[in-house]
Amino acid sequence: MSERPRRVRPIADTGPADAPLVGGKSANLGELTRAGFPVPRGFAITVDAYLDTMDAAGLRERLRADTATDRADNDLDRTSDEFTVAVRGAALPADVRAEIVAAYAELGDDVPVAVRSSAPAEDAADTSYAGIHESYTNVRGADAVVRAVQACWASLWSPRARTYRAVQGVADEPSIAVAVQVMVPSDASGVAFTADPRTGDRSRVVVEAARGLGEVVVGGQVEPDTYVVVKDGFVVEQTHLGRQEFAIESTGTGEHRVELDAAGSDRVLDDAQVTLVARLGVAVEEHYGQPQDLEFAFADGALWVVQTRPITTLDDRSRPSAVATDADVADALLTGLGAGPGRASGAVRVLHDPADGARLTAGEILVAPMTRPDWLPILRRAAAIVTDGGGITCHAAIVGRELGKPVVVGARTATTALHDGQQITVDGDSGAVLAGIIATTSPTAVAVTPAPQGGAPVTATAVYVNLATPDAAASVAAGDVDGVGLLRAEFMITDALAGEHPARMIAQGRREEYVRAMAAGLTTIAAAFAPRPVVYRAVDLRSNEFADLVGGEDEPDEENPMIGYRGCFRYVRDPALFALDLDVLHRVRGRHPNVHLMIPFVRTRWELAACLAQLDAHPLGADRSMLRWIMAEVPSVVYWLPEYARLGVDGVSIGSNDLTQLILGVDRDSEVCRDLFDTLDPAVLDAIDRIIDRASAAGLTTSLCGQAVSTSPELAEHLVRRGITSVSVTPDAAALTRRTVARAEQRIVLDRARAER
C-alpha cells in the first residue's frame, strides 16, 4: 500500500508544478525560495488537508453538489452563511491537525505567522483571485493557527468567492490550500509592478509603498506613495507622495493601529530603497519571463518578497510611456490623478465659480476646486482641466474625456499653488502639472475609434458611446461605434440655452425657444448616428445644479442633493419639466426614429408608473416604436426590475458610478474617500449581476455606462460573460473596449468548446 501524500509541505519544497496541490501563492513563493529570492520561511497546507477534513465532517458531497448552483443562486447570502459556518466548525482529522501543529513548531516557539489562503488557480496568468479569499496576520500559537486555517477554508464559500468563480466559469470542485509564513514586522511595505499597469509600458517599474504592514496598501486603506523607476539604469523618474494618517504595525503582542503625525506625509522609501525594490522586481520578472505584480516588505533594513503573481490586466498594446520625461520632472509643479489622456499647454485661469466663466478665454488651462454640469461651456473652451479634488469618475474627469481634454484631478492645492497667467503644461496621462510650455499631444477634437478596416474586431456585444453635446457627433459617429448609449440632456441646457433654468423659460412664455434649441442639438446627433440608436437621457440635474442656472433661485435647499429631488421623482412632482423632454423627443423622432428615451434615477415602482403615465398621455406615448429605457443607479432596482418590466420598460442601463456610490455609501467626488470607491467590489458586482439576470429574464436589453468599463478589462469581461447586451463608454475608450469585449467573447467560445469535448 502506497504512503499517503503529505498534507503539509515546506514552502521551499514546492514549485509551479505543485500549484494544483498547494495553490498559486505557495507555488510561486516556493519557486522564488528555490531560486534564491528573499522569501520568509513557511509551509503549505495542501488542498488534500481541506478535502480530507470535509470528507471526515460529511460536508464534501453537499458542497460539491452546490457548485452547479453557484452561477445563479437567488439565496446566495443565506447558503454562503450556512456553508462558511459549517466549514469553519468542521473538526480536523487528528492526523491532519498533527501535521499542521508539527510544521508550525518547526518555525519556532509560538512564532507569529501570516496564514494566507492559496487557491489552486490563484495568482495564475489569467486569474488572480486577489482579495477573494481571506488571510490573517500575526497569528500566534498552534490552536490559533488551526483556527485561522479553518477560517481560510471557510472563505472559499463566501458570496464574493462563489460569485468570482461563477464569473470566471470555474466548474471544478472548489478547493483551497493555505500558506503559513513567519511574519515580517514591516517598517514599510507595498506593491511593485514591473510594467506600468496604467499604460502597459514595460520599460518602467511602478512602486507603491506605505509605512507598516502592507495590508493598508493592498486593501486600499491609505493613499500610498507612488514611485516610477526606469528599468534602463534604474533611475527614480517620478515620485508622488501619498497621504497616510495611520499605519498597522506588528509587535510582539499582535497588530496595532498607530496614528501618524506630520511625518506621515514624508517619503516612505528613499531612492536607494525604491531602486532596490525595482531591481528585485525586475529580477523576479526575468525569472518568470513575464511582468509581475509583487508584494514586498522592509524590516530592519532587509527586503523580503511576500507574494508575486503575473499582471493579469496588462494590455498587450505597445504604447509609449505615460510619464513625463526627465527634463519635465524637474519642472513638475503638482501631481494628481491622470484622468483624461493627452497633453496641453497654456496659461492658467483659476476659477472658483462658473459665474466667472467669462474670464476664461479659449485655449487657457482651467484650474478649479471641482466642476459640475453648469461648468460645461467653460470646459469646452479650456485647453485642459486641473482640479483640487475628485477621482477618475468625477464630473471634470468624465466630461473632460468626452470633450477630448487632458485632465488632472485630485491635485489638492492647484487653486492656491497656480496663478492666473502662469504658463503650464498638463499631462493627462501621468497626472503631472509641469512648468512652462512643452510639446503637446492634446487632440483638437474628441478622440474616436477608427472605422473598422481589415482585421478590426466584430463583437456581438454592442459598444456604444456617451455624449454630452452635439459638437463631436460627426467625428465620433464616423468611428467604430454602435450608437449613443447615453446622451446627457442636461449638458445641452448649459450649452444651447446658455445655462437658463427651464422653469424660467416656461414662465416667460419661451417654451418653444427651449424645445427648438434642444431639438436642434439632438437632431444633429441623431442624424450623425442614423440608423444607429441614440438613447436620450431626460434632464437629470440635481437641485443644487438647477439652482446654479439662471433663474434657479427657487430651487429647494437640500442637505444631500445627490440623493434628493432629481430624476424620475422630480418628473412626477414637476410634470412641466418632463413635458419639455417629451416635446423635444416628439419633434426629433418625426425625422429621426433612431432616438429613444431613458428615465434616470428610478427609485420605486409607483414613481415610474406615474412617470410613464405622463408619457402615455403625451402624443409621444402613441409612438410605440420608441424604446423606453431606465437607468439602474439605485440599489432598489434589483428588487423592482420585474415590476418595471411589467410597466412596459424595454431596456435598462446600469449607471455604474451612482450604483457604486449608493451600494458602498461613498461619494465618488471625495478625494478623502476615493480609496473606497471600487466598482469591482464584490457587493457592487453582485448587484450588477442581479440586474443583468433579472432584466434578461424579463426580456429587457441591458447596458452599462460608466468609467469603470472603460478602464477595467476585468469588468468588461465580467459583463460579457454575464450576458450584457451592450456597454457605453467615452469615445476615447471605445477602441480598447471593443478589443476587450472581443477577447472576452472569444474566451467564452473557447471555454464552451473545451467543455463540450
**Which CATH number do you get for residue 100?**
3.30.1490.20
Instruction: Indicate whether 169 and 213 sit together in one domain.
Output: no
What is the pLDDT, as a whole number, of residue 126?
Answer: 42
Output the domain CATH number for residue 546: 3.20.20.60
- Condensed to tens digits (0 to 9), the pLDDT of residues 255-298 reads 667 777 754 458 889 999 999 999 999 999 999 888 888 889 99
Q: Fill in the DSSP letter of residue 615.
A: H
Q: Which of 345, 531, 585 is nearest to 442 (CA)?
A: 345
pLDDT value, residue 432? 87
DSSP E strands in 121-240: the ranges are 135-139, 177-182, 188-193, 204-211, 225-230, 235-240
Range 666-670 average pLDDT: 78
Q: Tell me, yes or no, whether 15 lies in a domain.
A: yes
* 520 residue type, one letter: A
**62/196 same-domain check:** no
Q: Is 462 helix (H, G, I), strand (E, B) or coil?
A: strand
Domain range holding 355? 326-435
Q: Give pLDDT tens digits for 416-473.
A: 999 999 999 998 877 889 988 885 544 434 444 444 444 457 888 999 999 988 888 8
Task: List the CATH number of the domain containing 364.
Answer: 3.50.30.10
pLDDT at residue 672, rounded to an integer: 79
Query: Do 301 and 388 fall within a single domain?
Result: no
C-alpha cell of residue 715: 469588468
Q: Given 244, 279, 310, which residue is the final one in a domain? A: 310
Residue 675 pairs in a beta bridge with none
Q: Tell me, yes or no, whether 741 lies in a domain.
A: no
Model confidence, pTM = 0.51
Residues 331 and 306 occupy one common structural domain: no
State residue 116 phi and psi, 5-degree precision.
-130, 130
Assigned domain for 644 exists: no
> What's the rounded Cα separation, in Å, for the pair 350 and 332?
18
CA dist list (Å): 697 to 240, 635, 642:
48, 18, 9
Last residue of one domain, picked from the residues 182, 204, 236: 182
Rounded Cα distance between 540 and 525, Å, is 19
Count Cα atoms within 13 angstroms, Cβ side, for 350. Answer: 14
More confident residue, 105 or 319: 105
Q: Could you tell me how far CA 12 lies from the centroid of its own chain?
A: 36
In a domain, 319, yes or no: no
Does residue 286 sit within a domain? yes
pLDDT at 2 over 50: no
CA-derived radius of gyration, the chain: 28
Among residues 236, 238, 240, which one has the least CA distance to residue 224? Answer: 240
CATH of the domain at 259: 3.30.470.20
Do 610 and 499 lie in one domain? The reply is yes
Which residues does the annotation mark as catalytic? 395, 705
Of the candidates 691, 688, 684, 593, which has an alpha carbon nearest to the alpha carbon of residue 649?
Answer: 691
**pLDDT at 196 (0 to 100):** 73
CA distance 637 to 654: 10
Are 174 and 198 within one domain? no
Distance CA 3, CA 183 (A): 33
Residues 604 and 516 placed together within one structural domain of the fold: yes
* Strands 595-599, 628-632: pairing kind: parallel
**Which of 38-47, 490-499, 531-540 bottoms out in mean pLDDT, i.e. has the lowest?**
490-499
Helices 142-154 & 76-89 angle (0-180, nearest 10): 150
Q: Where are the alpha helices (DSSP H) in 205-292?
A: 215-218, 271-288
pLDDT, position 757: 64
Same domain, 169 and 196: no
Domain count of the fold of the chain? 4
Predicted local distance difference test score (pLDDT) of residue 353: 86
Answer whether residue 739 is part of any domain.
no
pLDDT greater than 60 at residue 40: yes
Is the peptide bond preceding residue 531 cis, with omega within 30 degrees of 0? yes
Domain end marker among 280, 310, 340? 310
Residue 298 lies in a domain: yes
Same domain, 491 and 513: yes
Q: Is the pLDDT at 512 greater than 70, yes or no?
A: yes
- CA 631 to chain centroid, in Å, comes to 19
Quick count: other Cβ atoms within 10 Å of Cβ 387? 29
Residue 610 lies in a domain: yes
To the nearest whole number, what is the mean pLDDT of the chain?
82
Q: Are residues 166 and 88 in the same domain?
A: yes
Task: Give Cα separations from 507 to 542, 543, 550, 644 (angstroms).
Answer: 20, 18, 13, 34
CA–CA distance, 92 with 157 (Å, rounded to integer):
18
Whether 302 and 348 share a structural domain:
no
**208 and 86 in a common domain:** no
